Amino acid sequence: MTEIFKGSFTQQEPIPEEGIEAALAVMRHGRLHRYNTVAGEVAETALLEQEFAASVGAKYCLAVASGGYAMATALRAVGVKPGDKVLSNAFTLAPVPGAIAAVGAEAIFVGVTQALTIDLEDLAAKASNARVLLLSHMRGHICDMDALMAICDAAGITVIEDCAHTMGAAWRDVPSGRFGVAGCYSCQTYKHVNSGEGGLLVTDDAELAARAIILSGSYMMYEKHLAGPPVETFAKIRYETPNISGRMDNLRAALLRPQVRDLATQCARWNERYHALETGLRGTAGLTVIERPPEETIVGSSIQILLMGWTADDVTEVLRRCADRGVELKWFGAQEPVGFTSRYDSWRYVDAPKMPQSDAVLAGIVDMRVPLTFSLEDCALIARIIRQEVSKVYQAGV
Ligand SMILES: *Cc1c(COP(=O)(O)O)cnc(C)c1O
């Protein structure tokens, strides 16, 4: 009997009841704008910032409209100007080069290794070309952060971390987002907390935080922030910094607060599913499982496998066969961008030289989302389906 998977790869869990109740309360009182508070009231958004800052051990946190907005704001706040060069990953998703383009800067892409992390040799070789790195922990893979920071510190490069896929993850027990000068997170539906849209920016740098707060559209209401820097920090910054509105509202913050509190539990549930998939896939001929280093605390909200050296036709055949059995896989080797999946040479507004070694890795990356609505049995079934179809195509091709 041919087993078929019937679940949905895009169905998230509902918002916790506590978040729904809090959101209803916000709607009932009508003060959705974060600075619209009555005497003695503290806005949901300010509380979210305080709680998220505490959860990652950051001094300051700013909630904004999206992860992409958080990254562009961090770039502006560290002084990136139009025409500046910004290093970033060749293997990432469109909002990352988009944030660089949003500030008028030019991306220089750094290659990807078979561990699916940034190629540190390539980074070292390109380090003298820029003073900022927007580092994307793409699909949750964290590179050797000690080595990366050593390269960047030696070259005087400011690091901003894109933690859209690593909220809750860590390297040597230091939360992702706490190595660079700023960490940026997304609260969009497909990430680790879900308010539809939303973003968070954390930093220990008071001036960066003050600029980010003014940039986000605080007018002169920055004193209402609970996770903002001391008011003196704003003395000059408030006159020099443009207001580029991208605030979060209290409704989204109300949905997010219980999710931030539950994050560790949710991450453990993602990892159970990830490990069930990994166990089921390991040892399949022709397929490489990505080994995760012991220093990395992962959040397995997606899983990647490598079909290294496969022809495009064979990979496409595996995807087709798996799709027929209900398993939706994404491929980073396709010539044309599809759905959420694109790659450095799809972003033609960037002048990006070809990277043959990275192209060989990208050509083999097969990617799958792991929503928490999957059971562990679902994960075992999905792994069996992928294993069977990869084996059939691999054996036919060998
Ligand atoms: C989702 C995502 C972001 C941020 O996206 P928003 O939709 O703007 O919140 C940033 N980087 C990566 C790699 C992403 O997948």
- Which of 135, 161, 166, 186 is the pocket-test mutation for ligand 1 (most atoms within 8 Å of CB)? 186
Give DSSP secondary structure letters for 189-212. TTSSS-SSS-EEEEES-HHHHHHH
Average pLDDT of the chain, as a whole number: 97
How far apart, in Å, are the Cα atoms of 302 and each of 163, 204, 370? 14, 30, 5
3-state secondary structure of 142: coil
The pLDDT score that the predictor gives to residue 335 is: 87
The pLDDT score that the predictor gives to residue 85 is: 98
Among candidates 129, 164, 159, 163, which has minimal Cα distance to 147?
Answer: 159
Q: Return phi, psi of residue 137, to 5°.
A: -85, 70
Residue 67, ligand 1, Cβ within 6 A: yes
3-state secondary structure of 160: strand
Mark whether 43 and 90 lie in a shared domain: yes
- Residue pair 53/213 in contact by the 8 Å Cβ criterion: no
Percentage of residues of the chain with pLDDT beyond 90: 97
User: What CATH number did the domain enclosing 80 receive?
Assistant: 3.40.640.10
Domain span at 179: 17-261
Residue 152 burial (10 A CB sphere; 0-12, 13-18, 19+): buried
What average pLDDT does this structure show over 331-358? 93
Tens of pLDDT, residues 138-182: 999 999 999 999 999 999 999 999 999 999 999 999 999 999 999
Q: Report if residue 7 sits inside a domain.
A: no
Give the closest residue (by CA) to ligand 1 atom 11.
164
Task: Choose the final residue of a domain: 198, 230, 261.
Answer: 261
Position 1 confidence tier, pLDDT thresholds 50, 70, 90:
confident
Position 398 confidence tier, pLDDT thresholds 50, 70, 90:
low
Instruction: State pTM to two decimals.
Output: 0.98
Give the closest residue (by CA) to ligand 1 atom 9.
67
Q: How many domains does the chain have?
A: 2
**Distance between CA atoms of residues 211 and 109, nearest Å:** 27
Residue spans of beta strands (DSSP E) within the chain: 60-64, 85-89, 106-110, 132-136, 158-162, 170-171, 174-175, 182-186, 199-203, 288-289, 296-297, 302-306, 330-331, 365-369
Task: Choose the final residue of a domain: 261, 278, 306.
Answer: 261
Q: Report if residue 356 sits inside a domain.
A: yes
Mark whether 226 and 132 lie in a shared domain: yes
Tens of pLDDT, residues 268-324: 999 999 999 999 999 999 999 999 999 999 999 999 999 999 999 999 999 999 999
The residue assigned the tokens 């408030």 is: 238
Task: Choose the final residue of a domain: 243, 261, 279.
Answer: 261
Q: Report if residue 5 sits inside a domain.
A: no
Mark whether 251 and 288 lie in a shared domain: no
Position 25 confidence tier, pLDDT thresholds 50, 70, 90:
very high
Mark whether 44 and 86 lie in a shared domain: yes
d(CA 65, ligand 1 centre) in Å: 12
Mark whether 213 and 242 lie in a shared domain: yes
